[in-house]
Amino acid sequence: MRPLVSHFIALLIVLSSSGCLANLSEDEVNPLGDADLDRDGIPDEIDNDQDGDGWVNSQEYECGNDPRSNSSTPQDKDSDGLCDALDADLEGLLEEYRSFRDLEQRTADTEWYGYNVTTWQMDNGGWGKNNINGYMEPWDGIEPISPYTCGKSDCPNGTYLGTLDNNATTSEIRFLSKLYSTSSNETNRTIFKNSASQGLDFILKSQYESGGWPQVYPERIGTYSNLVTFNDHAMIRAMLLIWDIIEYKEPFSTGIFSGLNRTILEDSLDRGLDFILKSQIRDEGGTLTVWCQQHDPISYEPMPGRAYELPSKSGWESVGVTALLLNWPDRTEVVENATWSAVGWFHENMVVGKEYNMKPNGTFTEKEGSMMWYRFYNLSDDQFFMAGRDSVKVYSISDLTFEMKTNYQWAGNWGADLVLETSKLNLTRFT
């Protein structure tokens, strides 16, 4: 599926109103009255690069720059000769799922902080969540080490569970791997390496045979935590971590995972992709769309989370899945269909000129140049909805209680970068 022309037109309107396009034309450029602006011996009237900055005039017009000013030079961060304004940066869509900046930036003494992080690691290899401040001190052996505990008969009450929720465990592994590469203290390097390796073991052990990852591990009986979790991009961060280790991508370019059987990692990644492809939701017409926040690990069916998180197509969680597919190297027909169906869905469901403000009152307002998607859409069609703690669908924010209006992100600009970058790709490829 390819985005419709009308969606590109709407996107260009958004870009124009937000100032991303300079809308320059040759008639609007103010001549400086110099017949040879760049003093290269070629008269301006026949000079393809009037300002001598290495970009031909026509390229600068297309990129929104002034061809008669060498201070207005197109940006080209990958140095491929195509300006960033027109060059699709698909890999850049994944960067937020690699981030561990909260850990990096918590204190200037990152090595001491990293040691503390290792003391909070559980025997199963995972970490709890939302503990950035807790890591300022080593674990005292008494304070709850995770918000999740296990109640299953073979996992006694009080046993703490590791989680991938809210970027947990994947961020700690990346952070410790970074410290391993920068530390000159061999004792600390050994501690960081062992901890990161145990964390990776946790991720590999927690993966279902079908390819998905739960929110917590071991099993937390009777809760949605056992479902395959795209929510908060948990599964995408796990897959991207494994992928980066396979590719020796920073911060895994050192020997921190030396000796690891990479066939195991590749198999894990392939199973993850298989789950993504099999769980992609089809609408009532049979068209592939996007994904739910969580899916059944066996049937692949969309499943509910909390009372107000009904089975649905998710406008946020699906962004990360789609970004991963856009970068997947093995472009089989199945991967291509899944990728472009999801991309097309985001283009088709973009709301232009509107935004959701969760605080202070939970309201939708007009905002020129903005792009928005709702959090939840029906499985059968693209009707958005919201829900309260009674699990009843509503279609207007005014039908929610104040508590529900102001404590859940019912809409956001989550797909903006995805739409912008894929629009560049299609415009340059098909025009």
Give the residue-averaged pLDDT of 59-72.
77
Whether the per-residue pLDDT at 400 is higher than 90: the answer is yes
In the chain, what percentage of residues exceed pLDDT 90? 73
| C-alpha dist (Å) from residue 162 to 123, 278, 403 | 9, 26, 29
Closest to 318 (Cα-Cα) out of 415, 204, 409: 415
Give the residue-averaged pLDDT of 236-250.
98
202 and 126 Cβ atoms separated by less than 8 Å: yes
Q: Using CA atoms, how far apart are residues 188 and 185, in angstroms rounded to an integer?
A: 5
Whether the per-residue pLDDT at 401 is higher than 60: the answer is yes
Question: pLDDT per residue over 277-291, tens digit each?
Answer: 999 999 999 999 999
Whether the per-residue pLDDT at 308 is higher than 60: the answer is yes
- Global confidence as pTM: 0.85
Question: pLDDT per residue over 138-152, tens digit each?
Answer: 999 999 999 998 865
Closest to 231 (Cα-Cα) out of 218, 244, 213: 213
124 and 145 Cβ atoms separated by less than 8 Å: no
Q: Which of 84-88, 250-254, 355-359, 371-375 has the lowest mean pLDDT?
A: 84-88
Residue-level pLDDT at 431: 36
- CA dihedral sign, ordered 83, 84, 85, 91: positive
Whether the per-residue pLDDT at 156 is higher than 70: the answer is no
Whether the per-residue pLDDT at 5 is higher than 50: the answer is no
- Angle between helices 186-206 and 234-246 in degrees, nearest 10: 120
First and final CA of the chain: distance in angstroms? Answer: 17
Residue-level pLDDT at 255: 86
Number of neighbours of residue 157 by Cβ within 10 angstroms: 9
131 and 125 Cβ atoms separated by less than 8 Å: no
Residue-level pLDDT at 158: 63
Residues 6+ apart with CB under 8 A from 330: none
Residue-level pLDDT at 430: 31
Average pLDDT of every residue of the chain: 89
Residues 6+ apart with CB under 8 A from 384: 315, 374, 376, 377, 378, 395, 411
Question: pLDDT per residue over 75-120, tens digit each?
Answer: 777 776 766 667 778 999 999 999 999 999 999 999 999 999 999 9
Closest to 242 (Cα-Cα) out of 228, 259, 263: 263
The model's confidence at residue 366, banded by pLDDT at 50, 70 and 90, is very high
Q: Using CA atoms, how far apart are residues 353 and 370, in angstroms rounded to an integer?
A: 5
For domain 98-279, the CATH architecture is: Alpha/alpha barrel (1.50)
Tokens of residue 268, six digits:
């894990």
Residue type, 402: F
Q: Using CA atoms, how far apart are residues 41 and 43, in angstroms rounded to an integer?
A: 6
Q: Using CA atoms, how far apart are residues 343 and 333, in angstroms rounded to an integer?
A: 15
Give the residue-averaged pLDDT of 61-69.
78
Task: Scan for tokens 């669908």, then name that residue.
Answer: 393
Burial of 274 (0-12, 13-18, 19+ CB in 10 A): middle
Q: Which of 10-14, 112-116, 162-166 has the lowest mean pLDDT?
A: 10-14
Domain ranges of the chain: 25-84, 98-279
- CA dihedral sign, ordered 125, 127, 133, 138: negative
Q: Using CA atoms, how far apart are residues 26 and 164, in angstroms rounded to an integer?
A: 53
Whether the per-residue pLDDT at 229 is higher than 90: the answer is yes
Residue-level pLDDT at 279: 99
Residue-wise DSSP of 161-214: -EE-GGGTTHHHHHHHHHHHHH---HHHHHHHHHHHHHHHHHHHHHS-TTS--B
